[in-house]
Structure 1
Amino acid sequence: MRKQAPKLSAKQAAVGYLSRRDHAEKELRQKLIMRGYSEPDVSEAIAFCQDYNWLDDARYAVMIMKNGIAKGWGWLRIEQEMHIKGIHHAIVSQTADECEIDWYELACEVAQRKFGASEMDTPKEKARRFRFMQSRGFDFDQIKSALNIEDEY
């Protein structure tokens, strides 16, 4: 059975997706191809959206950064999210360079919010907290600082 041709043009579909939320170029390209649009039509629609500044990977990367920080994610988790969405490595690096957040301070805030002032009295509890902070995307030094860990892990 043949797939039915899309009713909207690729440009209309792209604008429709972008009217609901921002997308990365790769993400939008995949959605349009999945809907059955040809590669030339998809490329033309993406170029059209970029010309009007409706599709901008740099702006999308900043949005992912802000959302990640608001969720209490560290840089490693935010960077992973950007790569999953298909943002080019150069844009990811540029976003990281322009970011003025203190990751150590954010790690402390996340740890305080999650664990409060409760004691880390067993190695099992220490490992649990460490894993939680790792899953949030903080690096080893940031976690040690946030959890006040003096010894080697």
Structure 2
Amino acid sequence: MSFNKPIKPAKDIDGVRRSAFWHLGRRDHSEKELREKIGRKTDNQEWIDRVIGECFEYGYLNDARFVENFIRGAQNRGFGVTRIKRDLLRKGFDSKTLFANDHYDYVSAAAKLLAGKYNKRIANPNIKNKAIAFLQGKGHAFDNIFKAIDLHNETYPEDDCDCLGEAVALLSRKFKTAISEQSSHNKALRFLISRGYTFSDTADAIKLFNEQINQDD
């Protein structure tokens, strides 16, 4: 089992300065981030303020540059504006004004993520719910998510999707006999509805499943 080594306190301001430069050498930081990190080395606020001031003076710290690079990097990784705003807030920035003139095409970015994950039309309710959850996890807003799914689906004709057939296939994996008892009927309803199918689609799937079972018999 490995343990993190305890942070060695800085004996003087040079120790705080070395810590700041080491962190900045690894990646760009916001002022809030750097203050927190060098604050682990000392509780001497005067040393911290002096080192932070020097970092700004030398151009090692530049919050405007940090925000610009952070947003661009997050966009390049496919993150949505909700995720980017949340991450910036954690780093000490009020994002309310940062996106006032943001013209980035988040819908196309979200559609690109979908294209990398799905090579077919997203119409099956179960798959659609997974796609929505996937884009939510990337921080995309709901309206952009639905637009991205529509944009993705333009690549695939509607007749590529056999939602009813897929629902019946799900039932066939769970039920081995006709769904005739009320208890099994209710179980099948809950099963498909929990996977995103509408009540109407679920009823049609159960009917078709029973017809196929009866034909096999």
TM-score by length of 1: 0.82
Alpha carbon RMSD of aligned pairs, Å? 2.1
The answer on whether the counterparts of 1:104 and 1:145 sit within 8 Å (CA) in structure 2 is: yes
- 1:135 to 1:4, Cα distance in 2 relative to 1, 3 A: closer
| The structure with more radius of gyration | 2
* Mapped pair 1:75 → 2:99: no
Distance 1:107 1:5 in 2: 45
* Number of residue-to-residue matches in the alignment: 143
Distance 2:144 2:122 in 1: 19
Task: Spell out structure 1 runs of 4+ moving beyond 4 A.
Answer: none
Distance 1:37 1:9 in 2: 13
Describe how 1:19-38 pairs up with structure 2 within 5 A: 19-38=25-44
Give the equivalent residue in structure 2 for 1:39.
45
Kindly provide the CA deviation profile for residues 79-105 of structure 1, in whole angstroms up to 9, marking residues without a partner as x: 11111222x21xx34442354311122
Describe how 1:109-128 pairs up with structure 2 within 5 A: 109-121=112-124, 123-128=125-130
Question: Is there any run of 5+ residues in structure 2 with no aligned partner, and where?
Answer: 1-6, 152-217
Aligned-partner residue type, residue 52 of structure 1: Y
Distance 1:78 1:4 in 2: 33
Q: Give the SS at the match of 1:34.
A: coil
- 1:133 to 1:37, Cα distance in 2 relative to 1, 3 A: same
Question: Is there any run of 5+ residues in structure 1 with no aligned partner, and where?
Answer: none
Aligned-partner residue type, residue 139 of structure 2: G
Fraction of identical pairs, as percent: 27
